[in-house]
Amino acid sequence: MERFTIHTGTAVAIDRANIDTDQIIPKQFLKRIERSGYGEFLFYDWRFNSDGTPKPDFVLNDPKYREASLLIAGANFGCGSSREHAPWSLFDYGFRCVIAPSFADIFYNNSLKNGLLPVVLDDESISNLMKRSVDDDQTITVDLESQTVRDTVGLTASFQIDEFRKYCLINGLDDIGLTLQHESKIADYETRRSITARAS
């Protein structure tokens, strides 16, 4: 898993509440067996017409936000089904962080396990960040170590995160990485188990 410590980037805002996982990555694109390749289908029904042409009025189709790496959204982001493909598609598209007033629990936990940082901020901070996201020179810095969000206009807001999840993100450890930290102990156990099995 890619480490997350401090990230500065352009933010794009989707001012909608209850954005569910089927809107994030529609069900017809869930047939892939890899974690990669989902970014092109992110928000597909919002980004594209039925003939596959981009919808010019959707914010992600604005060239200004082509390099956006932070997403600001409304409350209850990631609600709906528990598909892990939702954070996969956001990360594959290029987002490193989603900032919202609240998240669906399963989406929140799936994001943390896949290197995508979900940040909960108060409504006023969210509103200010959304308004400022239209400015050409506006960037946001998310500092996981200090648990703060800062923008170039002077906003500073703090956020909470579980210490264990913070440790995992800062060190780039997913569930497999955490297990491999004990690789020598696992190998020792398997060796002893094999000897015991042969002896019996």
Q: How much of the chain exceeds pLDDT 90, in percent? A: 76
Tell me the average pLDDT across 7-22.
Answer: 97
13 pLDDT more than 50: yes
Q: Given pLDDT bands bounded at 50, 70 and 90, which one contains residue 174?
A: confident
Say which range, 13-22, 96-105, 165-174, has the weakest mean pLDDT.
165-174
The domain ranges of the chain are: 6-173
Q: Given pLDDT bands bounded at 50, 70 and 90, which one contains residue 183?
A: low
182 pLDDT more than 60: no
What does CATH list as the number for 6-173? Answer: 3.20.19.10
Three-state secondary structure along the chain?
Answer: CCCCCEEEECEEEECCCCCEHHHHCCHHHCCCCCCCCCHHHCCHHHHECCCCCECCCCHHHCHHHCCCCEEEECCCECECCCCCHHHHHHHHHCCCEEEECCECHHHHHHHHCCCCEEEECCHHHHHHHHHHCCCCCCCEEEECCCCEEEECCCCEEECCCCHHHHHHHHHCCCHHHHHHCCHHHHHHHHHHHHHHHHHC
Say which range, 104-113, 130-139, 182-191, has the weakest mean pLDDT.
182-191
Q: How much of the chain exceeds pLDDT 70, in percent? A: 87
Average predicted confidence (pLDDT) for the chain = 90
pLDDT for residue 75: 98
Q: Given pLDDT bands bounded at 50, 70 and 90, which one contains residue 193?
A: low
- The predicted-structure confidence for 66-125, as pLDDT tens digits, reads as follows 999 999 999 999 999 888 999 999 999 999 999 999 999 999 999 999 999 999 999 999
Say which range, 45-54, 69-78, 129-138, has the weakest mean pLDDT.
129-138
pLDDT for residue 54: 96
Tell me the average pLDDT across 21-33.
Answer: 91
176 pLDDT more than 90: no
Tell me the average pLDDT across 176-192.
Answer: 57
pLDDT for residue 120: 98
